[in-house]
Amino acid sequence: MITDEALWSSLPTPALLLDGNDCITQSNPAAEAFLNLSTKSLNGQVVWEKVLIDSPLERPFERARAQRTSLFINDVFVGSGMRAPQHCNLQFSPLQGTDDVMIMIISPQQIVSRLVQNSVTGKAARSAIGMAEMLAHEIKNPLAGITGAAQLLSMGLTPEDQELTDLIVAESRRIVKLLEQVEQFGNLRQPDRKSINIHDTLDRARQSAAVGFAAHMMFVTDYDPSLPRALADSDQLQQIFQNLIKNAAEANRDGGKITLRTFYDASLRVLQADGIHARLPLQIEVIDDGPGLPPDIAANVFEPFVSGRENGTGLGLALVSKLIQDGGGWVTVDSAPGRTVFRISLPRADQDDGDD
């Protein structure tokens, strides 16, 4: 027979039991994972101090408790201070057989909305990449002619006039280099997925960044040493990590902290184009304490040519999204001033492909 404890532990939705003093008496594993807090740190604590909600709920909650009725709250952001807030619905209900105990259910909305967003972004990325690649090829040919003509003209000019032709040549070459980046972005090989150690790949990216573009940043690692091996392309994954670390470093030009975190989340699955539900339990987070993404681009940050930096090409994060999707993974971002979290979700190397 299934026990109440087994049912409680098996709930896929984060849930908390609250006593008459608004203190947490019990939390299920899904709540621990969502809040990134252990049962020990939650139990006995006032819920409003541990579960941070962007809406004042104490009074309506007290009325619901006093009247022994349910309370539903939609479209609020819920966090814990240990991870970025997430868009959720909340439900409070009296626990049958008790006088004042309430159960709190947290229903994150981001999984569905972001899966849809990722799918749309992927299609937009492929269309934009194809068009950019075609334009790059067509533009490079006349640029070569312009460069050659300017070099021929300079042979019969005075030194003063040669400065103008030199400028034409230099600017044409600069444009060609940019176009070559676009072409490289569109000509990516298919991932060679093998069993790899995520931490080895992550450390190589960190060490390379720490002596280069992220030398002004402090790195903190929070690795789960028991994490299984991932099924991924090691070279492409290192490129992804370097792009995310570079993005974090450029957002903190005066210095700051980059945290690299790994953990296991067995509940995450995504529906692939072939109809298979793929498990993506391996989680890698790149966290920075910078100003956050500009609000006007936050929803489209993975689309090509969207950039919050002056003179930025907007290809870095679009490349990350394309590589992750091609490799069967998933990438999301949560951003607020002082905490931006890019999370990559990957499959295990030793798991079945998926379930119908």
Q: Is the pLDDT of residue 146 over 90?
A: no
DSSP state, residue 228: P
Please give the pLDDT value at position 224.
93
Q: Is the pLDDT of residue 181 over 70?
A: no
Locate 49 and state its tokens: 């101090």
Q: Is the pLDDT of residue 354 over 70?
A: no
Q: What is the pLDDT of residues 94-132, one digit of tens each?
A: 988 888 899 999 988 755 445 545 555 555 555 555 666
Host H or E run for residue 282: strand 282-288
Angle, CA 112 vertex, CA 106 and CA 113 arms, to 5°: 105
Q: Is the pLDDT of residue 282 over 70?
A: yes
Q: What is the pLDDT of residues 2-47, one digit of tens each?
A: 457 777 887 888 999 999 999 999 999 888 888 888 888 899 999 9
Q: What is the average pLDDT value for the chain, to the nearest integer?
A: 80
Please give the pLDDT value at position 320.
81
Locate 180 and state its tokens: 């070559």
Using 50, 70 and 90 to split pLDDT, how confident is the model at 284? very high
φ, ψ (nearest 5 deg) of residue 104: -115, 125
Residue 234's identity, in one-letter code, is S
Percent of the chain having pLDDT more than 70?
78
Average pLDDT of the segment spanning 134-141: 70
Please give the pLDDT value at position 1.
38
SS3 label, residue 214: coil
C-alpha 231/C-alpha 234 separation (Å) is: 9
Alpha-carbon Rg of the chain, whole angstroms?
A: 25
Q: Is the pLDDT of residue 326 over 90?
A: no
Q: Is the pLDDT of residue 58 over 90?
A: no
Average pLDDT of the segment spanning 245-265: 91
